[in-house]
């Protein structure tokens, strides 16, 4: 399945102005967050950052489809989804300033998974638990194209199919797994096709169209709640580097040849579409941009008020009793801090 809006006018679409503009607002917030986060990282304000530029429509659309009570199992790249879900910008930034958790809020989001695909079995387990308890929420597992080559992906989807778990697998195919182009990731015709092996539906959606994504994920959630999980492959493109530690010039020559709709900027495309439909004018666009800037400025100031975390925290939460190697590393870190000062401080 492949849905596009580019050929349809706003009048022909089945969305209200209110919905269309609320998607726009979140696309603007997401774009500004991403740009600011990159520049904050570049001036040493926070640690490495994985940009999602180019993936705003995909993430904002999917997050709009989720209900407050649904659970999201995100990755490091899903900051736009989390922003839309209501995680305060301050918390998203603090996570990258060494604070172990961004769950000091009541948003139903699990911590961002950095090990690839490990959140998929967790999401399926949470969905199965919801089902056993008779709860009527669904679970969404977010992951990238690269995650589909991991055992956890196959195990998770297999369980979901066998146990009719109320889960939507939201695979954001951004064309790359670091330097690995997605056409080298699999010999399957599509990633969505993999769902067939587990006995449920797989769909592809134009991931640069927030309305198509919101509708597709919305339908998938409804299906999941009736015991039919769905794998959604959202086709989009990573415009930036994998993370701020990456240098794409070393592998750009492997860039896949993709159709225009796949690599087009989703924010520009959506804004142009709204303007053509007379839904958006300069005044509204400027007000939306200004509100997003203010929100982010305030979040940066608020994050700066929070003291740096205790560096010893990085040794906690893994083992009940620290291993010898961890104890050695901890001593090494203390020696470093005594000599050079706290890495999070200005000294």
Residues near Mg ion (CB under 5 A): 144-145, 174, 177
CA–CA dist 202, 58 (Å, integer)? 16
115 touches ligand TPP (CB under 6 A): yes
Q: Binding to ligand TPP by residue 144, rule CB under 6 A?
A: yes
Is 198 known to be catalytic? no
Residue from 76, 99, 251, 284 carrying the catalytic annotation: 251
334 tagged catalytic: no
Nearer to ligand TPP, 113 or 138 (CB): 113
| Cα–Cα nearest to 242, from 167, 324, 177 | 177
What pairs with residue 181 in β-bridges?
176
Q: Contacting ligand TPP (CB under 6 A), which of 177, 217, 220, 230?
A: 177
- Asked if 237 is an active-site residue, the reply is no
Q: Which is nearer to ligand TPP, 31 or 77 (CB)?
A: 77
Q: Which one of the listed residues 238, 262, 264, 270 is annotated catalytic?
A: 238
Binding of ligand TPP by 194 (CB under 6 A): no
Residue 48: name its binding partner from Mg ion, ligand TPP, none (Cβ under 5 to 8 Å by kind).
none
Token reading at 40: 């904050």
Interacting stretch for ligand TPP, rule CB under 6 A, among 16-24, 25-33, 112-120, 295-303? 112-120
Question: Out of 79, 174, 216, 288, which residue is the one contacting ligand TPP (CB under 6 A)?
Answer: 174
Strand 180-181 to strand 201-206: parallel, antiparallel, or no bridges (unpaired)?
Answer: unpaired
162 binds ligand TPP (CB under 6 A): no
Size of the site for ligand TPP (CB under 6 A): 15
Single out the catalytic residue among 242, 262, 264, 270. Answer: 242
- Tokens 């809006």 belong to 5
Which among 81-89, 93-101, 140-148, 220-228 is the span making contact with ligand TPP, rule CB under 6 A?
A: 140-148
Using rule CB under 6 A, residue 116 touches ligand TPP: yes
Which residues form the catalytic set?
238, 242, 251
């Amino acid at each position: 399945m492949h849905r596009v809006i580019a050929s349809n006018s706003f009048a022909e679409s089945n969305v209200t102005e209110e919905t269309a503009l609320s998607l726009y607002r979140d696309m603007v917030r997401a774009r500004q967050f991403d740009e600011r986060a990159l520049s904050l990282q570049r001036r040493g304000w926070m640690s490495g950052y994985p940009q999602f530029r180019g993936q705003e429509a995909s993430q904002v659309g999917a997050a709009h489809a989720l209900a407050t009570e649904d659970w999201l199992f995100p990755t490091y790249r899903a900051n736009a989804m989390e922003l839309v879900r209501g995680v305060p910008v301050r918390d998203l930034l603090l996570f990258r300033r060494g604070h172990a958790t961004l769950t000091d809020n009541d948003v139903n989001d699990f911590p961002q998974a950095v090990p690839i695909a490990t959140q998929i079995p967790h999401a399926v387990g949470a969905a199965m638990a919801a089902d056993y308890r008779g709860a009527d929420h669904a679970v969404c597992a977010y992951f990238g194209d690269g995650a589909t080559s991991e055992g956890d992906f196959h195990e998770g989807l297999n369980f979901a199919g066998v146990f009719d778990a109320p889960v939507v697998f939201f695979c954001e195919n951004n064309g790359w797994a670091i330097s690995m182009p997605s056409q080298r990731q699999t010999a399957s015709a599509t990633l969505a096709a993999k769902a067939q092996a587990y006995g449920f539906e797989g769909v592809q959606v134009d991931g640069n169209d927030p309305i198509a994504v919101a509708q597709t994920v919305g339908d998938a959630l409804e299906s999941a709640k009736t015991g039919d999980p769905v794998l959604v492959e959202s086709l989009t493109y990573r415009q930036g580097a994998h993370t701020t530690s990456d240098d794409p010039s070393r592998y750009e020559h492997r860039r896949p040849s993709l159709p225009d709709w796949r690599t087009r900027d989703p924010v520009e495309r959506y804004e142009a579409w709204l303007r053509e439909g007379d839904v958006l004018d300069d005044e509204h666009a400027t007000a939306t941009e200004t509100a997003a800037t203010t929100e982010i400025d305030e979040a940066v100031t608020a994050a700066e008020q929070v003291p740096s975390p205790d560096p010893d925290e990085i040794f906690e939460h893994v083992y009940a009793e620290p291993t010898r190697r961890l104890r050695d590393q901890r001593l090494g870190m203390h020696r470093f801090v005594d000599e050079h000062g706290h890495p999070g401080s200005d000294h």
